[in-house]
Amino acid sequence: MSTPEKTGFWQSGHRPTLIASFLYFDVAFMVWVMLGPLAPIIAKQLHLDPAQKGMMVAIPTLAGAILRIINGVLVDRIGPKLTGAISQIIVIAGLTVAWRFGISTYEGTLALGVVLGFAGASFAVALPLASRWYPPEHQGKAMGIAGMGNSGTVFAALFAALLAKAYGWTNVFGLALIPLVLVFAFYLAAAKDSPDQPAPKSFAAYAAVLGEKDAWWFMLFYFVTFGGFVGLSTSLPTYFVDSFKVTPIIAGYCTAACVFTGSLLRPMGGALADKLGGIKTLTFVYIIAATVLAVISTGPATLPLAVALFIVAMGTLGVGNGAVFQLVPQRFRKEIGVMTGLVGFGGGLGGFYLASSLGFIKKATGSTSVGFLIFSGLALVALLGLTTVKRRWRTTWGAALVGARI
């Protein structure tokens, strides 16, 4: 007699590892994007121009993108648990230094951003740590739950500016250490590497993955979905402050509403992709995202309208994040560690592009409209690419899958 789908899912993997992956991802993302909600406060104190503000919030994303590739390699060679432990130690040490000695220059914020990149690289650890415990028919749900750790961006948006006003923005780094250390302890105790670990690959094998056209397609697809999500997560506090003259705290609340929607819908995107197929789900994602971002580029007249539009955009991109990673482990199950790093790199690069370009365009034109319109165009490029590959995917590797839809 068959078991219900929900019961089958929980029995098919390792629940403590899934929870540890989610929590690690959650607190890591919280600190990864924390310069975003602090940016209006830091920029005022350090006298930064719009381009510098954009670069300050974008550097952690770029560093995280590059480090995801390194973590992807380490995951396949030393295992996800140890790789994650090393990254967590580096982030805890870096925040401790920033808290104890303070930051007084623009260059100092960039240096901190590089350290925070190790938190962003958690993506390449948490997802394979969870994914390797689950069969193909449950990949969307497993990756969605672990990936919902990007909800940590909500905590950064809600509390960073509020705590900075109460205790000073440098002390926010010290307060962030509390959940980081607690989660690190739980991670060490609860997380386990799956017994189904692929054998370590040669470096030539990693290069061979880049020879697969599908790897590049997945990087493009995640460039738009995750790049849009994290780029907006770090840029919206400054956008709301500059466009509607609200306080950093109010801007943080508005950003939190948008980020929460995107985080909440990520696992739903994975589950939806399990039901409908990742290709169909992504098709709707790119159409809606392109449309909403184009509307945003016209300049919403009021704060409530802007927040509503960004909630739709972030929710749609969140669904897309879950859908991409319903497909990746099915196409590259044996290379999931390095592929998570590569696809994560593409997503991080998209976030760096969006956050930095909005700052530079704002400085050059006095408005961010062109930046949003360009990213809308990139969503249409992704849609065109998806249309190009879907027939081949469904008739090749997709046709060989049992119990899963693409």
- Cα distance between residue 20 and residue 195, in whole Å: 17
% of the chain exceeding 70 in pLDDT: 96
pLDDT for the residue 10: 65
pLDDT for the residue 8: 66
Q: How confident is the model at residue 151 (pLDDT cuts 50, 70, 90)?
A: confident
pLDDT digits (tens, 9 = 90+) for 268-318: 898 899 899 999 999 999 999 999 999 999 999 999 999 999 999 999 999
Q: How confident is the model at residue 131 (pLDDT cuts 50, 70, 90)?
A: confident
DSSP for 73-93, written as a single string: HHHHHH-HHHHHHHHHHHHHH
DSSP for 36-47, written as a single string: HHHHHHHHHHHT
CA distances from 142 to 132, 273, 302 (A): 10, 12, 39
Q: How confident is the model at residue 216 (pLDDT cuts 50, 70, 90)?
A: very high
CB 83 within 8 A of CB 122: no
Tokens of 238: 């400054």
**Residue 364 CB partners (closer than 8 Å, separation 6+):** none
3-class DSSP assignment, residue 327 = helix
Q: Name the residue among 278, 3, 307, 1 with its Cα closest to residue 141.
A: 278
Q: H helices of 168-277, where?
A: 169-190, 203-210, 213-244, 248-276
The whole-number average pLDDT for the span 190-213 is: 83
**Residue 277 CB partners (closer than 8 Å, separation 6+):** 405, 406
- pLDDT of 3 > 70? The answer is no
pLDDT digits (tens, 9 = 90+) for 13-55: 788 999 999 999 999 999 999 999 999 999 999 999 999 999 9
- Cα distance between residue 290 and residue 242, in whole Å: 24
CB 65 within 8 A of CB 352: yes
CB 371 within 8 A of CB 357: yes
Answer yes or no: pTM beyond 0.75. yes
Give the CATH number of domain 15-400. 1.20.1250.20
**Residue 58 CB partners (closer than 8 Å, separation 6+):** 231, 234, 351, 352, 355, 356, 359
- Cα distance between residue 69 and residue 271, in whole Å: 26
Q: How confident is the model at residue 266 (pLDDT cuts 50, 70, 90)?
A: confident
- Cα distance between residue 6 and residue 25, in whole Å: 23
Q: For the chain, how far is it from start to end, CA to CA, in angstroms?
A: 26
Instruction: State the amino acid at position 12 in one-letter form.
Output: S
Which of the 8 DSSP states describes residue 221? H
Tokens of 382: 């992704």
pLDDT for the residue 11: 67
Which of the 8 DSSP states describes residue 399? G
Domain range summary for the chain, segments of one domain joined by +:
15-400
Q: Name the residue among 156, 212, 225 with its Cα closest to residue 375.
A: 225
